[in-house]
Amino acid sequence: MIFFELFYVFFLIGLFTFGGGYGMISLIQEQVVARGWIDSSNLTDFIAISESTPGPFAINIATFVGSQTGGLFGAVCATIGVVLPSFIIIIIVAVLISRFIKNRFVRGALSGIRPIVLGLIFGTAVVFLIKLIIYSNGPQTFHLTSSYRESITIFLMVFGFYLAYRFIKKKSPHPIAILAISALLGVIIFWVL
Amino acid sequence: MRKKIAFPTLINLFLTFMKIGALTFGGGYAMISIIEREVVEKNRWINQSEMLDVLSISESTPGPISVNTATFVGYRVAGFWGSFFATLGLVIPSFVVILLISFFYQTFLSWTVVQAAFLGIRSGVIILLIDAVIKLKKSVKLSPVTILLFCLTVSLIILSFFFDFSLSIGSFKVSISIILILLGMVIGIVSTALRKGEIQQ
């Protein structure tokens, strides 16, 4: 039953997502891409779409995958699934608030989870870089041909922009600026040239 | 002690969090200032220090910060139905926008100029992930254990691109990320317990 599966896969993803949206990407690769619900290249496209639309990444991706897999009702099931773990846990915590945050074991568990989440995000970045080289043409539905050299060139240019911006302004560029520049470079290199 | 639930309060919670949901792009830490303005300054539902509590709770529990905040504030203001309407309000804008996008997604992606843009965006997304790592690394205390956990996670995630490490229990797939998060949790708890032992000796 696809609706129930959407619900419980996203419930699981919601339950194991700590410290913001990007920590969940490795889980989405493992659970959603592996089930064939979306293509791995669609996932990176979708991260870009999610950055340029309102709302948290978790809700965006759940709605999107649910809708692509099971239409409107699929989207409802996946979205409820991803929200429900936080909803239940926060209500429990709101009742016990002060005891919860001050508990040494809660703090301890949290300090153990943080380096893992950081590793999940960085590992995913490396995997995406490997994919950039291996699947240089993008998804099979794309009919552009490109070599990995072009993709790597774009990557290095955007990375250069990022480092220069951080060096000069002492803060990160806005995500939408990063995406807009990389999209523009993509259009110039793959479409205009 | 049961709070009297006023209907206008529920509607106000719903509309305020709908506004927060519609205004926050990019998610995560970017939305904190908007949430604070609406919830602390304008509506005075919680005070500044409670806002900090909400953030530390959000970091120590699963799920997106904005969902956690909506549920928490809703509960403080009007109990269970407060959290229900606040969370519903928050979710609706992204739900509607993404649903519309997903219907036009295939047509949109059949244009070659869009395909070229998305091939470029693949690089941008990697930079966003690196940026998230740079921003979040402040919250991790450097120690041999945390460095080891970080390196272990990175290498296993890269290897899992080539090999499947997940355990299947029925149709339930326990993937490598879940195993690693549980491992971090256990190591964190055990090291806390060991530190307690040292103090007593």
Residues B100-137 as b/e (b if ≥16 CB within 10 A, e otherwise) read ebbeebeeebeeeebbbbbbbbbbbbbbbbbbbbeebe
**Beta strands B167-169; B172-174: pairing state:** antiparallel
Q: Model confidence at B199, in pLDDT bands (50, 70, 90)?
A: low
Global pTM reads 0.79
Q: Do B101 and A75 touch, CB atoms closer than 8 A?
A: no
The reply to whether residue A176 touches residue B25, judged by beta carbons under 8 angstroms, is: yes
CB proximity under 8 Å: B 53-112 to A: 53, 56-57, 59-68, 71-72, 75-76, 80, 83, 87, 90-91, 93-95, 97-99, 101-103, 105, 109-110, 112
Class of residue B50 by CB neighbours under 10 A (exposed 0-12, middle 13-18, buried 19+): middle
Q: Model confidence at B82, in pLDDT bands (50, 70, 90)?
A: very high
DSSP A16: T
Contacts (Cβ under 8 Å, ≥6 apart) of A68: A37, A38, A74, B102, B105
Cβ of residue B52 closer than 8 Å to a chain A Cβ: no
pLDDT by residue (tens digit) across B97-111? 899 888 887 787 788
CA-CA-CA-CA torsion sign (B117, B120, B121, B122): positive
The reply to whether residue A179 touches residue B191, judged by beta carbons under 8 angstroms, is: no
Q: Do A18 and A113 touch, CB atoms closer than 8 A?
A: yes
Residue of A nearest to B181 (CA): A113
pLDDT by residue (tens digit) across B9-47? 899 999 999 988 887 765 555 567 778 888 888 888 888
Provide the terminal-to-terminal Cα distance of chain B, rounded to the nearest Å.
44
**From the CA of A168, how many Å to the nearest CA of chain B?**
16
CB neighbours (10 Å) of residue A26? 26
Residues A154-164 as b/e (b if ≥16 CB within 10 A, e otherwise) read bbebbbebbee
| Kind and range of the H or E run holding B168 | strand B167-169
CB proximity under 8 Å: A 111-170 to B: 111-132, 138, 141-144, 146, 151, 154-155, 158-159, 162
CB neighbours (10 Å) of residue A179? 25
Q: Which of B61, B92, B122 to mutate to test the interface with A (most CBs of A within 10 A)?
A: B122
Q: Do B113 and A123 touch, CB atoms closer than 8 A?
A: no
Q: Do B131 and A162 touch, CB atoms closer than 8 A?
A: yes
> Low-confidence residues of chain A, pLDDT below 50?
none
CB proximity under 8 Å: A 48-107 to B: 48-60, 63-64, 67-68, 72, 75, 79, 82-83, 85-87, 89-91, 93-94, 97, 100-101, 104-107
Report how far residue A167's alpha carbon sits from residue A164's, in angstroms, rounded to the nearest whole number.
5
The helix/strand/coil state of B142 is coil
Predicted confidence at residue B110, as pLDDT, reads 82
Q: Do A185 and A158 touch, CB atoms closer than 8 A?
A: yes
Query: Higher confidence at residue B119 or residue B50?
Result: B119
Class of residue A108 by CB neighbours under 10 A (exposed 0-12, middle 13-18, buried 19+): buried
The reply to whether residue B131 touches residue A114, judged by beta carbons under 8 angstroms, is: no
Query: Higher confidence at residue B185 or residue A98?
Result: B185
In this structure, of A149-153, A172-176, B71-75, B80-84, the range with the lowest mean pLDDT score is A172-176
Backbone angles phi, psi at B168, to 5 degrees: -105, 125
Q: What is the ipTM of this complex?
A: 0.82
* Per-residue three-class SS string for B17-67: HHHHHHHCECCHHHHHHHHHHHHHHHCCCCCHHHHHHHHHHHHHCCCCHHH
Q: Model confidence at B1, in pLDDT bands (50, 70, 90)?
A: very low
B159 neighbourhood in chain A, CB within 8 Å: none
CB neighbours (10 Å) of residue A146? 18
